[in-house]
């Protein structure tokens, strides 16, 4: 039965590659199988699974098994009694070999696991059943490999795993190979000591310093402890691999209050220190587990000042350094009193850079605003996201409660939103901090759809267009672009925008992995 484990192997599938020589003494064979049982127990408890090849089970004269796949299957069956419809074992096998090379007890074991939904059969056509094809099928599903004994088959699978950049950990138990055809795990271990990052690309140079503590030949730890350390190695390797990937989403903010809201919504504690880029920019990294189970890598940065010039420059620098796949600008904005309410969250449908103009002879000004619409991918994501109104509203109500976003029923300076539902609007972007409602309304003469104004969007969108990055702006309405203010709404609007941003990443954004 699954129990709590300090690290998780969720979505991991382990290939234990290896075998035992017919000449190996029984004590060594027992040691190997005892370790495998301990390993299976810890992997299952950590939420992981296995993949194995199932055919005849070779044994020695005392009926000791010389392969590990059947040991793995029996242990998983024992551990998962009472569990249904969660795959812990992928069975690679041909129908002919299962029927002709296994006994009825073995077939009953596998079929009962398949019937309970804890195993699945990956069938290989008998006509193309070769060692190489079996290896290809195993590597197709495996996320990590442990090598124990064996010969050329182990080396072949390790070679395939290395080509895919997947982690491999060889162990030192001297048990030979069932086919007497090479050094297998022991040969890999020698190579691992020489070039550890070939086998653990992100953490190999650290792991190799303590690999001797995992010795099975001369163990200094209990097998369960060794198994837990192996699980931790694979977990840390996956964490390091994921952290090194370009962010799926770069979340940009302009002001400290917006940065604080973004970090809170994305669960980055105040004590977490930022990564400092080569240009001195502070970047916080985090991970969001989306509703589809995919982990989204997120990076958060702040311009530390308002204005499109800095926004464009810093965005460009971050796009070059981080290579994010998507960009979201998050923050507060002014909304037209007749169109918006305080605390309301808006998503950009287009951004109008309204400052562009030509000064004509005679003192006249010819306005030349530049509009940028969302690209098709983002428009599709936003439309689908907003169309699921009931579930969206329910999620945001919970998010607002978690972030302690409590909007007053009414205040003197203007209307307060009664709904958590965001809407799409056209946003004007310029260098001026609007404090005159007449000048704010005058923006409609440039584009009749403008309802919101802010000071960074044009710069962010221009940088993203240059680098061909999908971009969306999410803003919370904090004022009406006039002299009336309620400072509470700087924080409330920033938090509301951050709540929608986190929810959009989780439930709306399409990741192109």
| Spatial separation of the C-alpha atoms in residues 488 and 505, rounded to whole Å | 26
Please, where are the H alpha helices in 218-296?
A: 223-244, 256-265
| Spatial separation of the C-alpha atoms in residues 191 and 193, rounded to whole Å | 5
H helix or E strand, kind and range, residue 145: strand 144-147
- State whether 127 and 214 are in the same domain: yes
Reading the block at residue 368, the tokens are 């030349």
| Boundary of a domain, candidates 243, 273, 308 | 243
| Spatial separation of the C-alpha atoms in residues 420 and 496, rounded to whole Å | 8
Does residue 234 sit within a domain?
A: yes
Mean pLDDT computed over 276-287: 94
Does residue 204 sit within a domain?
A: yes
Does residue 1 sit within a domain?
A: no
Contact 295, 510 (CB under 8 A): no
pLDDT at 4: 45
Does residue 214 sit within a domain?
A: yes
H helix or E strand, kind and range, residue 318: helix 308-322
Mean pLDDT computed over 284-295: 89
DSSP per position, 405-419: ----S-BTTB-B---
C-alpha distances out from residue 127 to 49, 247, 436, Å: 28, 44, 80
- Which of residues 344 and 182 earns the better pLDDT score? 344
| Spatial separation of the C-alpha atoms in residues 470 and 326, rounded to whole Å | 5
Please give, one letter per residue, the 3-state secondary structure of 419-432: CCCCEEEEEEECCC
pLDDT at 513: 56
pLDDT at 6: 63
**pTM (2 decimals)?**
0.70
Query: What's phi and psi for 146, nearest 5 deg?
Result: -115, 130
- State whether 86 and 195 are in the same domain: yes
Domain count, the chain: 2
Does residue 307 sit within a domain?
A: yes
- State whether 199 and 252 are in the same domain: no
DSSP per position, 162-219: HHTT--EEE-------TT----HHHHHHHHHHH-HHHHSTTTHHHHGGGGGGG-SSS-
Mean pLDDT computed over 38-47: 97
Q: Helix crossing, 376-387 with 389-402: angle to 10°?
A: 90
What is the domain-level CATH number for residue 88? Answer: 3.40.50
- State whether 323 and 215 are in the same domain: no
| Spatial separation of the C-alpha atoms in residues 289 and 278, rounded to whole Å | 29
- State whether 488 and 448 are in the same domain: yes
What is the domain-level CATH number for residue 333? Answer: 3.40.50.1580
| Spatial separation of the C-alpha atoms in residues 205 and 285, rounded to whole Å | 23
pLDDT at 244: 84
Average pLDDT, the chain: 93
| Boundary of a domain, candidates 208, 243, 278 | 243
Residue range of the domain that includes 194: 13-243
Contact 266, 341 (CB under 8 A): no
Q: Count the Cβ atoms, other than its own, within 10 Å of residue 474.
A: 23
- State whether 255 and 166 are in the same domain: no
Pairing assessment for the beta strands 345-353 and 370-373 based on DSSP bridges: antiparallel
Query: With bands split at pLDDT 50, 70 and 90, how would you rate the model's confidence at 512?
Result: confident
| Spatial separation of the C-alpha atoms in residues 271 and 428, rounded to whole Å | 36
Whether 318 shows a pLDDT value over 80: the answer reads yes
- State whether 255 and 230 are in the same domain: no
| Spatial separation of the C-alpha atoms in residues 389 and 507, rounded to whole Å | 12
Whether 75 shows a pLDDT value over 50: the answer reads yes
- State whether 188 and 131 are in the same domain: yes
| Spatial separation of the C-alpha atoms in residues 313 and 307, rounded to whole Å | 10
Whether 243 shows a pLDDT value over 90: the answer reads no
- State whether 191 and 334 are in the same domain: no
| Boundary of a domain, candidates 215, 243, 271 | 243
Mean pLDDT computed over 17-44: 97
Cα dihedral 78, 82, 88, 90, rounded to 10, equals 80
Model confidence pLDDT, tens digit, residues 134-154: 888 899 999 999 999 999 999
**221-227, Cβ contacts within 8 angstroms, sequence gap of 24 or more:** 222/38, 223/34, 223/35, 223/38, 223/39, 224/38, 224/41, 224/42, 226/35, 226/38, 227/35, 227/38, 227/39, 227/41, 227/42, 227/43
- State whether 452 and 500 are in the same domain: yes
Mean pLDDT computed over 208-218: 97
Query: With bands split at pLDDT 50, 70 and 90, how would you rate the model's confidence at 360?
Result: confident
DSSP per position, 459-491: HHHHHHHHTT--EEEEEEEEE-SSS---THHHH
- Which of residues 258 and 295 earns the better pLDDT score? 258
pLDDT at 450: 94
Residue 50 in 3-state DSSP? strand
CA atoms within 13 A on the CB side of 82: 3
DSSP per position, 342-380: BT-EEEEEEEEETT-EEEETTTEEEE--EEEEPPHHHHH
Model confidence pLDDT, tens digit, residues 364-406: 777 888 999 999 999 999 999 999 999 999 999 999 999 999 9
Mean pLDDT computed over 255-275: 94
Does residue 454 sit within a domain?
A: yes
Reading the block at residue 92, the tokens are 């690679």
Does residue 343 sit within a domain?
A: yes
- State whether 237 and 372 are in the same domain: no
| Spatial separation of the C-alpha atoms in residues 222 and 208, rounded to whole Å | 20
- State whether 262 and 231 are in the same domain: no
Model confidence pLDDT, tens digit, residues 420-456: 999 999 999 998 888 788 888 888 888 889 999 999 9
| Spatial separation of the C-alpha atoms in residues 298 and 268, rounded to whole Å | 11
| Spatial separation of the C-alpha atoms in residues 491 and 474, rounded to whole Å | 15
Does residue 5 sit within a domain?
A: no
Mean pLDDT computed over 170-176: 98
pLDDT at 347: 99
Whether 108 shows a pLDDT value over 90: the answer reads yes
Residue 329 in 3-state DSSP? strand
Percentage of residues of the chain with pLDDT beyond 90: 79
């Amino acid at each position: 039965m699954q129990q709590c484990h300090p690290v998780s192997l969720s979505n991991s599938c382990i290939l234990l590659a290896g075998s035992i020589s017919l000449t190996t003494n029984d004590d060594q064979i027992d040691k190997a199988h005892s370790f495998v049982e301990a390993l299976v127990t810890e992997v299952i408890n950590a939420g992981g699974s296995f993949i194995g090849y199932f055919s005849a089970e070779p044994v020695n004269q005392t009926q000791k098994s010389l392969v590990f796949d059947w040991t793995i299957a029996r242990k998983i069956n024992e551990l998962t009694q009472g569990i249904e419809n969660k795959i812990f074992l992928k069975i690679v096998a041909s129908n002919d070999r299962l029927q002709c090379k296994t006994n009825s007890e073995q077939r009953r074991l596998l079929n009962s696991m398949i019937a309970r939904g804890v195993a699945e059969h990956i069938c290989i056509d008998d006509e193309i059943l070769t060692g190489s094809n079996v290896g290809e099928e195993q590597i197709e599903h495996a996320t990590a490999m442990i090598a124990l004994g064996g010969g050329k088959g182990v080396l072949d699978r390790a070679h395939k795993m290395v080509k895919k950049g997947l982690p491999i950990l060889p162990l030192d138990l001297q048990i030979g190979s069932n086919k007497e055809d090479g050094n297998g795990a022991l040969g890999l271990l020698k190579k691992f000591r020489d070039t550890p990052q070939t086998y653990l690309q992100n953490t190999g140079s650290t792991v190799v310093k303590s690999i001797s503590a995992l010795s099975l030949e001369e163990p200094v730890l209990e097998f369960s402890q060794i198994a837990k350390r192996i699980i931790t190695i694979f977990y840390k390797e996956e964490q390091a691999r994921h952290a090194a990937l370009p962010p799926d989403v770069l979340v940009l903010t302009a002001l400290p209050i917006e940065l604080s809201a973004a970090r809170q919504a994305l669960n980055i504690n105040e004590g977490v220190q930022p990564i400092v880029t080569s240009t001195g920019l502070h970047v916080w990294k985090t991970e969001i587990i989306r509703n589809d189970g995919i982990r989204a890598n997120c990076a958060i940065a702040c311009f530390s000042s308002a204005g499109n010039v800095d926004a464009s420059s810093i965005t460009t620098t971050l796009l070059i350094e981080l290579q994010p796949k998507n960009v979201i600008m998050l923050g507060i904005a002014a909304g037209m009193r007749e169109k918006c309410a305080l605390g309301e969250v808006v998503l950009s449908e287009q951004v109008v850079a309204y400052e562009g103009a030509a000064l004509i002879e005679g003192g006249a000004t010819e306005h030349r605003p530049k509009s940028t619409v969302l690209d098709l991918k983002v428009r599709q994501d936003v439309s689908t996201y907003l169309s699921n109104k009931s579930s969206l509203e329910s999620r945001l109500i919970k998010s607002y409660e978690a972030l302690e976003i409590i909007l007053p029923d009414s205040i003197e300076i203007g209307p307060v939103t009664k709904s958590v539902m965001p809407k799409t609007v056209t946003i004007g972007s310029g260098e001026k901090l609007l404090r005159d409602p007449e000048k704010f309304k005058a923006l409609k003469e440039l584009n009749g759809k403008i309802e919101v104004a802010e000071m960074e969007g044009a710069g962010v969108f221009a940088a993203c267009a240059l680098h061909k990055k999908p971009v969306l702006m999410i803003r919370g309405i904090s004022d009406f672009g006039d002299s009336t203010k309620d400072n509470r709404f700087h924080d409330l609007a920033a938090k509301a925008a951050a709540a929608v941003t986190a929810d959009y990443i989780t439930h709306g954004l399409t990741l192109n992995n």
